[in-house]
Structure 1
Amino acid sequence: MAKAKRRRVRDTWKEKDWYTIKTPIAFGDKEIGDTPSRDPDFLIGRRVDVTMRELTGDFSKQYIKLRFEVENTAGNIANTKFIGHQVTSDYVRSMIRRGTSRIDVPVVVDTKDGYKYKLHVLAITTRRAKSSQQKFMRETIHDLVKNVNSDKTFEDVIESAVDGRLASQIYHKAKKIYPLKRVDIIKSKVL
């Protein structure tokens, strides 16, 4: 019987270097993690999810997940760009109750500096609204978001959407149409 040759297995783990992942300057250029990679080019396009609590230390914002994508590397530092955010599904479910209406409004915003940005606004009424009232509310929120963000830069739109200032503006304008319980921007995405 012939002996089978043993192949030598190459340990690729030892060839890898560790890279520190950092947020964009708009989010404070903070360190959000470490990742191994054999080649820095393999890092480009890698996505990282971070909660707002991990970034700011504010426990009241734990339900907001921020998404970053590695854009380039410099030495052992991987720089990221912001690609969107999302509110956790359990938080959204906790806001909706029987006898209320859920009004979803997707809006595509063009910023002053040429970025396209999709925002998903969620408005919850105190009582069930008629379909005509919901339609009017949708149109009003859509127009308001377009008008407010058309003259802002990309960083300003991100900041106001994530920290809740835009949702607060929408709430105060839209509650005149129908009593609202809550308004949130539950999702955003850079197009």
Structure 2
Amino acid sequence: MVKKKRRWYEITSPRVFGNKVIGETISDDPKKVVGRTITVNAKELTGDYKKSHISIKLTINELKDNQAITSVQGYSVSRSYLQRFIHKGMTSVDIIHELTTKDDKKVRVRCMATINGKIQTTKKKLIRERFKKKLEQVMGNMSLDNIVFIATTNKIQKRLSNQLKKTHPLRFVEIRSIKLLKQKT
């Protein structure tokens, strides 16, 4: 039995990240390449070393010639980066919210807000409710690729922080992860 010759395929980033070549993969059958997932550090996509704490999960959707075109599947921030912002005497509020993007993809967004001092549980609930409303307003009219791109630039976090300061002064706001949920068929 003769083995098929394996070929190398260049993996390119999504359009919002500039269609850059970010790696290579090998396969004997082009059909086996489609569906593979890779995790890439955001500093490789943006060129900014300050984004090394962010990981972006990409999936190969299609092949054109020898190029594997990817789309965004998820976004996550390293735990060690988040732990730097939590200290004794502070309150951390975790927010988990599911929403539908402009391109009809269901995503789960996990956020974290830190507050100086201890606050009451009712105040935490109020912050969570307002946070979810603001997330819906900000992210509901964007595609998943754009949400992840803007989250890597910290524009969403700054916008949420400024809008939620009226409820209670927040020290730090970060999107911990954005995960694409599987669609029911």
TM-score, L = length of structure 2:
0.90
Question: Residue 110 in 1 paired to residue 100 in 2?
Answer: yes
Question: Residue 24 in 1 paired to residue 25 in 2?
Answer: no
Determine which of 71, 77, 85 is the counterpart of 1:81.
Answer: 71
Matches within 5 A, 1:6-45: 15-45=5-35
When the two chains are superposed, the root-mean-square deviation of aligned CA atoms in Å is: 1.8
Q: Displacement, 1:68?
A: 0.2
Q: Which amino acid aligns with 1:110?
A: T
Check whether the contact 2:51–2:152 (CA below 8 A) recurs between aligned residues. Answer: no
Mapped partners of 2:178, 2:47: distance in 1: 22
Q: How many residues align?
A: 181
Matches within 5 A, 1:43-122: 43-122=33-112
Determine which of 160, 171, 178 is the counterpart of 1:181.
Answer: 171
% identity of equivalent residues: 28
Q: Displacement, 1:121?
A: 1.3
Q: Displacement, 1:11?
A: 9.4
Mapped partners of 1:167, 1:160: distance in 2: 9
Instruction: Provide structure 1 residue ranges, at least 5 long, that are not aligned to the other structure.
Output: 1-9
Distance 1:11 1:92, change over 3 A: farther
Distance 1:76 1:152, change over 3 A: closer
- Partner secondary structure for residue 15 of structure 1: coil
Q: Which amino acid aligns with 2:82?
A: V
Deviations 1:69-114 (A, max 9, x none): 1111122111111101100111011111111111111122222332
TM-score, L = length of structure 1:
0.87
Larger radius of gyration: 1
Determine which of 142, 145, 150 is the counterpart of 2:135.
Answer: 145
